[in-house]
A and B are shown apart, each in its own frame.
Chain A
Amino acid sequence: AQSVTQPDIHITVSEGASLELRCNYSYGATPYLFWYVQSPGQGLQLLLKYFSGDTLVQGIKGFEAEFKRSQSSFNLRKPSVHWSDAAEYFCAVGENTGNQFYFGTGTSLTVIP
């Protein structure tokens, strides 16, 4: 069955430090992969997506993610975190032949000055 795992429930980083949020998926075919961010009391905003092609994708707000098929991973990275990046981050897998989206349980990011 398809699934998405975000192993880290909560991460704390210092402002200016680098960030990597992990995402592993289980899907039979090549998946469509997404990262969304949710600020408190807000909806989910799309950060970036991977459908095909270059496995390193750039998103908004300085985020990037790399698709590694061999590891079934789609980790999100940012070289220098800003205090405004504090939020909940969700990884998602979309079916390329069906209509389902599978979300991870989210990683809560705290940024300390």
Chain B
Amino acid sequence: DSGVTQTPKHLITATGQRVTLRCSPRSGDLSVYWYQQSLDQGLQFLIQYYNGEERAKGNILERFSAQQFPDLHSELNLSSLELGDSALYFCASSVEYSGNTIYFGEGSWLTVV
């Protein structure tokens, strides 16, 4: 158990819908990362927050957004969902915003039908 908690573990939704994925980082970690893992794209970095502020942005679509709250949990919002958004979404956390080990949650499986 990495200490990073993600909910829900599985989610099935229809195209055009909106979902929110939630992540609680390890105790004491200030930085949260979101990754998308799909068969054709591999592990793709989406976005990083550190202590409530966005620190880095990767291959995140405009339909997707994220935030980190004062209690340091983070949410990834996915809207206008398409079939191609079906993937495993990982949250990871680390103590600082750079030069540290990141620890992954078990992921949220999203299936868009």
Given A95-B98, A100-B45, the answer on whether A43 and B33 have CB atoms closer than 8 Å is: no
Q: Are B107 and A43 within 8 A (Cβ)? A: yes
Interface size bucket, B side? 20 to 34
Given A43-B104, A43-B105, A45-B104, are A101 and B2 also a contact pair (CB < 8 Å)? no
In whole angstroms, what is the CA distance A49 to B55 when docked? 23
A110 at the interface (CB under 8 A from B): no
Main secondary structure, interface of B, reads strand
Q: Which among A42, A101, A106 is the interface contact of B42 at CB below 8 angstroms? A: A106
Residues of B near A99 (CB, < 8 A) are: 31, 48, 50, 55-56, 97-98
Please give, as numbers and ranges, the residues of chain A lying within 8 Å of B56 by CB-CB distance: 98-100
Q: Mark A81-113, 1 if CB is under 8 A from B, else 0.
A: 000000000100011111111010110000000
Whether B98 and A43, one on each chain, are in contact in the complex, defined by CB atoms closer than 8 angstroms, is no
Q: For B104, list chain A residues within 8 Å (CB).
A: 36, 43-45
User: What is the bound-complex CA distance between A98 and B94, given in angstroms?
Assistant: 13
Q: From A102, which residue of chain B is reached at the shortest CB distance? A: B45
B112 within 8 A of A: no
14 contacts between A and B (CB under 8 A): A32-B99, A42-B106, A43-B4, A43-B90, A43-B107, A44-B92, A45-B2, A94-B98, A99-B31, A99-B48, A100-B56, A101-B33, A103-B42, A105-B42
